[in-house]
Amino acid sequence: MKNYLSFEQLSNLYSLALPKNGIESIAELIRDNRAYNMPLTYLLSLDLSHNLVKWIPNNMYMMMPHLKSLNLAHNRIHRVDMKLHLAGSVTHLDLSYNEMWTISEDWNSISKRPEFQIKLGGNPWECNCKLKGLSMMVTDSTKWSNFYVNEIYHNLKCASPFSVAGKLIKDLSGYWDKIKCH
């Protein structure tokens, strides 16, 4: 277990950048600072890119209630529950270049938060019925008004199944009918 920096003396910390530090657990970072009654309350921006993070703790936004920007690009995250991020105050979420192959199907909630921006490119997506909602949103530009449209539109590629590997998710409109997604 690593010893993380304590932010005990930094009660008004607004931005924290810890890329390339070998951090494996956001939970440890939160827990270690909560012990000092410093739940990173005023933190607005957190950059944990290029680390070894595998999952996002459910209590993260309770400990960082004002967090607006979360950069978790280039980590080892496999799956994300979008309801967690939509319930928090975050408006910029970078999950690009992780190990994500699926994502929760709650895309309608995303379209209700036009200020919410997300990056998902560079992940090995399994293009099954769970991604149909994402595909439909990518092809419906009215729902993507404030998203990273170019990044999402051009960088979301299927890694599997073999029949669609390497294809852009935006180009799969007829595919969803073939695999009988409802």
pLDDT tens profile 137-162? 766 655 555 455 455 556 788 999 99
pLDDT score at 65: 86
Confidence bin at 52 (pLDDT 50/70/90): very high
- The per-residue pLDDT for 110 is 66
Q: Is residue 137 part of a domain?
A: yes
Task: Answer whether residue 2 is part of any domain.
Answer: no
Integer CA distances (angstroms), 76 to 64, 127, 139, 177, in order: 22, 19, 28, 32
Is 57 among the domain residues? yes
Residue 5 lies in a domain: no
Number of domain units in the chain: 1
Q: Is residue 1 part of a domain?
A: no
Domain-embedded: residue 105: yes
Is residue 7 in some structural domain? no
Secondary structure class of 58 (helix, strand, coil): coil
- Quick: pLDDT tens for 66-125: 999 999 999 999 977 766 666 678 888 899 999 998 876 666 666 667 777 888 888 999
Residues 6 or more apart in contact with residue 136 via CB below 8 angstroms: 107
**What is the residue range of 159's domain?**
15-178
* Percent of residues, the chain, with pLDDT higher than 70: 71
Is residue 114 domain-resident? yes
Q: What SS3 state is found at 117? A: strand
The CA-atom distances, in angstroms, between 53 and each of 79, 113, 137, 159 are: 12, 26, 28, 21
